[in-house]
Structure 1
Amino acid sequence: MSQDATVNAGDIARLAEVGRAAVSNWRRRYEDFPQPVGGTASSPLFSLPEVEAWLRRYGKSYAVSPGDRVWQRLRQIADDLRLGEVLGHVGAFLLYRRRDPDGWARLSQAPDLAERLPDAVAAATTGLPRPPGDDPADPELFRQVAAMTERYGDAGTFEFLCERYVEVHSRRLSLTRPDVAALMTRLVCPGASSVLDPACGLGTLLISAAEAGGGPRLLGQDAGEVPAVLAALRLLLRGRDAVVAAGDALRHDAFPGGQADAVVCDPPFNERAWGHEELVGDPRWQYGMPPRGEPELAWVQHCLAHVRPGGLVAVLMPSAAASRRPGRRIRANLLRAGALRAVATLSAGGPDLWLLRRPEQGGRRPGTLLVADASDAEAGLELVEAAWHASLSGRDQPGGSRSVPIIDLLDDEVDLSPARHLTPHSDARRYPAARDRFEQAAGALLAAIPDLEVLADGGPDWDGSQTSVAELAKAGLLAVHHSALREVGERDRDDAVPVLTVDDLLSAGPPSGWTAPAPGLVRVRAGDVVASPVTARVADTGGAVLGPQLSLLRPDPERLDPEFLAGFLRFTLGGARPHLGSSRADLRRARVPRLPLPGQRTYGGAFRRLLAVEDGLREAAALGDELARIGLAGLADGRLRPRG
């Protein structure tokens, strides 16, 4: 491993302000691009000084911010598995600096800083969770961190480094989506004097609770020691009153008997080893012993046990938790007690949001359960918020939500899935316009059909003489180019170049990919024939570059008609039957008839109209599906009726 600071491909892309695809292209095309000095084959690491030198040599602009300098030094000190520990020590240092800035000003000038700093940090953070592992004895790191705070502030510095940490461990960390976290905390936290998250991870929900008006006391627990420390530091550096403990909340509750004004939770899903055998008879199971395969129902009851009577709970649940048979008894008990107030689907495939209120002694029990489905609503998550407030105030529910009588839910299944209880609402007013669009598409489809004559002798209509694409290229009638791109990225820079992809070619859509400018890109012109392994068509416009797995044939239009060429290629590549064992046709061996230019243009026109039929069929099918869906839903919900 190099002793230099190291960067991965994503870091290089960020520093040079290009996409990841550009970095991959540099590695492939430039023999002198720095070789990996560590990491793995799928995620190599490169020496930062070597990368900087290479970028300078090729005149490529780049900027290494103070934050990136600190981050690379952190990665130089610790491998990915220990990054969280070292980051925790950096956070503790920032908290010490925040609490004792004068002490740091004096200590930073001391020649024995490495020996004295750990004790100073420990003294200033007494009673707070300690980061695991040894303090990194690197005075220069802490001086760089202190300098970084001049630009970002203490909390901003730690947030910057935490974001980089999350990027490195994106596959290991499960973070609540920011918009979902904001929704959960807006619904249950405003006005709460204390908020608990018993599976807090890095503290996303608690930070959102503070921003939503929850607090001033924030309580958290997480099974991982490193996440608990990082969550505590994120909150404390924001000046919040926070207590975060490490440990599994189901087995080792850090707040036994404690009750907060509100509880938010995004618990781990589908964990079989959650302590089923150990926790039999636990007093938290007021609504029933959670089945072994239903750990999420254990988390729901844990949350209810830790909220005051009348307090609200927002917990994310897998969609299946609303309908799985082993959990139906607990679901029924939650409904009977009036604890479960709403189930909302947030996105296709889950998760669902369960909103609960701990019953008060002698309180009135609700007679309905709010169900909502925001997965296919234009309003998105705002639908859930609107439906919840409408339910609380007794107003009519917006489309995509409904108050279901609890008595109707207490059957053998106790299925609380929103989709089961919501009738799709049609937009009946769109039916006339949908009908008109379909009729126009169908009319254009009929008009596009060419008038083709069946030859009495079985054809063909030429003398049988044919030639190949390779022979046409050799004779100078066309030029053949192949794409050098191997991957397509998103637009992440102003001078990114649009890329035509295989999917774009199949759907006749506009270029959907992007790549960074680079030598060797093949740019498409109007009139070029673009071919994939299965089809070909003539480009109507130019400007995009050729994407992966595509080839370009540029005919001389005075000697070779592009539509004629594309039509025969479409048949060869996608319509003809290849030989057994052949994976795809060889473009250069594809054959076309020898015809004079006027004859080519006649055939080209017919091919063009048949391609318009293919494209029109896709459009008409989509419009027909929309017409049928709107009509069916409108008839079913009474918003449409047959004439006469």
Structure 2
Amino acid sequence: MSAHDAVPVSLAEIARIAGVGRAAVSNWRRRHDSFPTRIGGTDVSPQFSLAEVEQWLRDNGKLADIGGRELLWPRFEALGSRNESGLAIAEAARRMRSSRARIAHPELSPQARDLVAEAARVGREEGPRETFEFLLQRWLETHVRQLSTTPPQLAALMARIALAVRLGPAQGGLTLLDPACGTGHLAAAAVQEYDSPGLEVLACERDPALAALTAGRLDFLAEDRGIRTRIATADTLRDDPFAGAKVDIALCNPPFNERDWGYEELATDQRWTHGLPPRTEPELAWVQHLLSHLKPGGTAVVVLPPAVASRKAGRRIRGSLLRTGALRAVVSLPPGSAQPHSVSLQLWILRTAPDGGPAAAPPSQNALLVDATRFARSGTREPSPDWDGLGSFVLTAMAALDQVDQEPPQGAVRVPLLDLLDDEVDVTPGRYAAAAAEPSRKELAGKWDGFGSLLTDLADHAQRLSALDFEAGTSQTTTTVGDLVKAGALTLRAGQQQPDPAATARGAAVPLLTIADLLHDGTPSGVVPTGSAPAVAEEGDVVVAGVARAFKAWVHEGPPTALGPQLYILRVDAEKLDAHFLAGCLCAPANGRQAGTHASSSSRVDIRRLQVLQLPLERQTVYAETFRRLRAFEELLTASDSAGKGLVSDMSDRLAAGGLTT
């Protein structure tokens, strides 16, 4: 118990443990003299004893619905070492599946071993896989600056590409290789995307903690599915643990810009069939390593920095990859697709000859270059892709890879090898796809027609709204959301931080909307398992964003959507309130200002203080219709602005290309 006593926790961690907001914990601290005293930190960021906090929460009935996972994580974090905490989580995963499992990591400290036993007990009670994924996600969040992981959406896209592009049936099942697996995001995605039996996964990672966590993750995924896994801890390029193995697909997100990759000792390695990679081109060593492991017709998808497509030092190898048909396609991703998030990374799609004979250029004598950078989400502080649009576009482009008579979608272009095999051998998609994406006369005419229709609708709404008249000097009675809740006219529910990562959700799921999504484009960016979210907006509910920088209210339409922190559901009694009337009253800017704290743009808005007109239901309907028209006018303004800017861009491209007749 003494080790437990020594574990410090912050106010934010206490809030997570209790399943409440940090403000609630601060209130407990002020209102209850019995709340544990600070044992460390500062007045601004105090720390408390985990044991004392747990006891206080239990004594005050604050842990009724919270499991033991939240209490586990601070103890793992208190181990201090990234490696020891990672190995301890992996060891706990093994013990969750089998209480008789032998210790695989004897170097763990006695404190870590005790924690492993406790975590295994909690996992067997609350769900082994869910507990492991919870601890793994917390570990990744804590050490995010020391790790480079593949986002689950990108991992899933890479797996789908590889499965779609691979030629021929897999004999006796499918074999997958990830030679730089990290914590297993790519391998896990492939397991989830491949539904047929007989999958074998070969994965390698030089960091023992990461390799152990990959093994834990894949062992859970492999349960009851007949999946075989082999996870090795080694430096793949220098000491390949799977030398001679041939696989159907390979996925890889290798380390970038590593000069010490083994250039001297590997100078005569037989894998370099396209040429010895220069010391400054380790990524091309990974490319050839993947190709050396592919079966005939096998496919590899690898994440690479954009400079690999054009650097002078690698042009000879790029030329060989093109001439032999090994490099089939290059996809430029939007910034934010993976670390480093500020860079537009690329996917290289590689494939070996299907007959097992000498590789040769494809019959079409071209490569598919895909510029998907336009799928970046606008209006965001941090780069972030529109994953749904990106995935659909890239997979549509890949469907045209081997179909010479099928035209690739706009933004993708088949480039003849003769055009690529020049002095630079530059395979950057934007260099070729931009010219191919110039709109035709018919497309431009269609865009102008669409823009004109938008302006017509906008003028119609403007005419109707401008005709509205308001009585002078009248003061209408108002009430508050809080009073309406007390009167039973509506119910109020608050969104919360989800306990499980959306990316690892399996089975039935609902979209997850967060404040960050609203600041982007309003599209939910995650999912959560059905039944796990405390607040799910249904058709007709009013949703309110309770933070100043994103304050808005609207009537939810479409499928059920889970809400994250600082988002609220107002479910009205239809006999007392019109939902569109309520949303219109709430979203008035003056309403948000008077109910906010005014401290900063990130200040919260007190939802219960928002004002609502007091009107009979029949009058609410009139207001509701006008509010709807006002929202439609706003949407048309936004659409017109976007369409107008797009036309300016398209017209500029066409004018710069010449051919003007008048």
**TM class, shorter-length:** 0.5 to 0.7
Select 2:429's aligned residue among 413, 418, 422: 418
Percent sequence identity over matched residues? 35
Displacement of 1:307 after TM fit? 1.6
Contact 1:285-1:298 within 8 A present in 2 as well = yes
Q: The residue matched to 1:293 in structure 2 has which SS?
A: coil
Q: Please, which runs of 5 or more residues in structure 2 have no aligned partner?
A: 165-169, 336-342, 376-387, 463-513, 519-532, 537-542, 555-563, 569-587, 604-632
Whole-Å separation in 2 of the counterparts to 1:200 and 1:13: 34
Q: Which residue is 2:447 aligned to?
A: 430
CA distance in 2 between partners of 1:498 and 1:270 (Å): 42
Q: How far 1:53 sits from its partner (Å)?
A: 5.6
**2:158 aligned with 1:175:** no
Structure 1 Cα separation of the partners of residues 33 and 659 of structure 2: 70
Asked if 2 retains the 8 angstrom alpha-carbon contact of 1:202 and 1:230, the reply is yes
- What is the Cα deviation at residue 489 of structure 1? 7.3
Q: Does residue 224 of structure 2 align to residue 243 of structure 1?
A: no
Residues 142-181 of structure 1: pairs in structure 2 closer than 5 A: 142=117, 145-153=120-128, 155-181=129-155
Q: Which among 152, 170, 176 is matched to residue 195 of structure 1?
A: 176
Distance 1:165 1:38, change over 3 A: farther
Alignment of 1:133-532 (within 5 A): 133-134=108-109, 142=117, 145-153=120-128, 155-189=129-163, 191=170, 193-213=174-194, 216-237=199-220, 238-239=222-223, 240-348=227-335, 349-359=343-353, 360-362=356-358, 364-366=360-362, 367-377=365-375, 379-394=389-404, 395-423=406-434, 424=437, 426=439, 428=444, 429-435=446-452, 498-499=545-546, 501=548, 515=566
How far residue 374 of structure 1 moved from its aligned partner, in angstroms, is: 2.6
Deviation at 1:636, TM superposition (A): 5.0
- Once the two structures are superposed, the pairs formed by residues 610-625 of structure 1 within 5 Å of their partners are none
Larger deviation: 175-184 or 233-242? 233-242
Q: Residues 141 and 69 from structure 1, CA distance in 2 versus in 1: closer, same or farther, beyond 3 angstroms?
A: farther
Give the direction of change, closer, same or farther, for the CA distance of 1:406–1:41 in structure 2 (3 Å limit): farther
In the aligned structure 2, how far is the partner of 1:417 from the partner of 1:173?
27
Q: What is the distance in 1 between the residues matched to 2:155 and 2:259?
A: 26
Letter in 2 for 1:93: R
In structure 2, distance between residues paired with 1:20 and 1:172: 27
Secondary structure of 2:191's match? helix
Equivalent AA in structure 2 for residue 273 of structure 1 = D
Contact kept in structure 2, 1:55 and 1:62, CA below 8 Å: no
- Alpha-carbon displacement from aligned partner over 1:286-334 (angstroms, at most 9, x marks no partner): 2222222222111111111122232110111112222222222221111
How far, CA to CA, are the matches of 2:352 and 2:288 in structure 1? 10
* Deviation at residue 50 of structure 1 after TM alignment: 3.4
Residue type at the aligned position of 2:208: E
Aligned mates of 2:602, 2:9 — CA distance in 1: 35
- Which 5+ residue runs of structure 1 have no aligned equivalent? 98-103, 105-119, 123-128, 446-487, 518-536, 553-615
1:121 aligned partner: 102
Map Cα deviations across residues 241-266 of structure 1 (whole Å, 9 max, x no partner): 11111121112221223222221101
Asked if the contact 1:17/1:62 (under 8 Å) is kept, the reply is: no
Q: Distance in 2 between matches of 1:260 and 1:356?
A: 13
Aligned to 1:171, what secondary structure does the other structure show?
helix
Q: Is the 8 A contact 1:500 1:510 kept in 2?
A: no
3-state secondary structure, aligned to 1:314: strand
Judged with a 3 Å threshold, the aligned counterparts in structure 2 of structure 1 residues 256 and 93 are, in CA distance, closer, same or farther, namely: same
Deviation at 1:353, TM superposition (A): 1.0
In the TM superposition, residue 632 of structure 1 has moved relative to its aligned partner by 4.5
With over 3 angstroms needed to count, the CA separation of the structure-2 counterparts of 1:141 and 1:514, relative to structure 1, is closer
Q: Is the 8 A contact 1:85 1:132 kept in 2?
A: no
1:410-434 Cα offsets, whole Å, 9 max, x none, are 1222221111111335564332343
Aligned-residue offset at 1:147: 4.9
Contact 1:149 1:156 in 2 (8 A): no
Decide whether aligned partners of structure 1 residues 209 and 542 sit closer, same or farther in structure 2, where only a CA change above 3 A counts: same
Shift in alpha-carbon separation, 1:173–1:551, aligned structure 2, 3 A = closer
Q: Residue 319 and residue 144 in structure 1: after superposition, are their counterparts in 2 closer, same or farther (change >3 A)?
A: closer
Cα–Cα, structure 1 residues 25 and 303, in superposed 2: closer, same or farther, change >3 Å?
farther
Is 1:84 matched with 2:71?
A: no
Give the Å deviation of 1:145: 1.8
* Count of residue pairs brought into register by the alignment: 493
**SS at structure 1 position matched to 2:317:** helix
- My pick for the range that moved more, 43-52 or 257-266, is 43-52
Q: Of 537, 545, 561, which aligns to 2:596?
A: 545
Per the alignment, in what secondary structure is the counterpart of residue 365 of structure 1?
coil
Q: TM-score, normalised by structure 2?
A: 0.62
1:485-509 CA-partner distances (Å, limit 9, x unpaired):
xxx97699759984564698xxxx8
**What SS does the corresponding residue of 2:302 show, helix, strand or coil?**
strand
Contact 2:91 2:116 in 1 (8 A): no
State the 1:179 CA deviation: 1.3
Task: Name the aligned partner's letter for residue 322 of structure 1.
Answer: A
1:222–1:228 CA contact under 8 A, matched in 2: yes
Partner of 1:484: none
Structure 2 vs 1, CA of residues 81 and 39 (structure 1 numbering), >3 Å: closer, same or farther? farther
TM-score normalized by structure 1?
0.64
Q: 2:147, 2:534 → 1: CA distance? A: 28
- Seen in structure 2, the aligned counterparts of structure 1 residues 636 and 550 have a Cα distance that, compared at 3 Å, is closer
Alignment RMSD, CA only?
Answer: 4.7
CA distance in 2, matches of 1:3, 1:414: 60
The residue type paired with residue 259 of structure 1 is K
Residue by residue over 1:348-402, the C-alpha shift from the partner in whole angstroms, topping out at 9 and shown as x without a partner, is: 3322111101244245522111111233247212211111122223322122211
Inter-partner Cα distance in structure 1 for 2:273 and 2:265: 17
In the TM superposition, residue 137 of structure 1 has moved relative to its aligned partner by 7.5
Whole-Å Cα distance in 1 between the matches of residues 602 and 414 of structure 2?
Answer: 57
Letter in 2 for 1:356: L
Greater C-alpha Rg: 1
Q: Structure 1 residues 228, 195: closer, same or farther in 2, change over 3 A?
A: same
Rounded Cα–Cα distance in structure 2 between residues aligned with 1:544 and 1:60: 29
SS of the residue 1:399 aligns to: coil
The answer on whether the counterparts of 1:337 and 1:365 sit within 8 Å (CA) in structure 2 is yes
Q: Is the 8 A contact 1:498 1:514 kept in 2?
A: no
Residues 18 and 493 of structure 1 are in contact (CA less than 8 Å); yes or no, is this contact kept in structure 2?
A: no
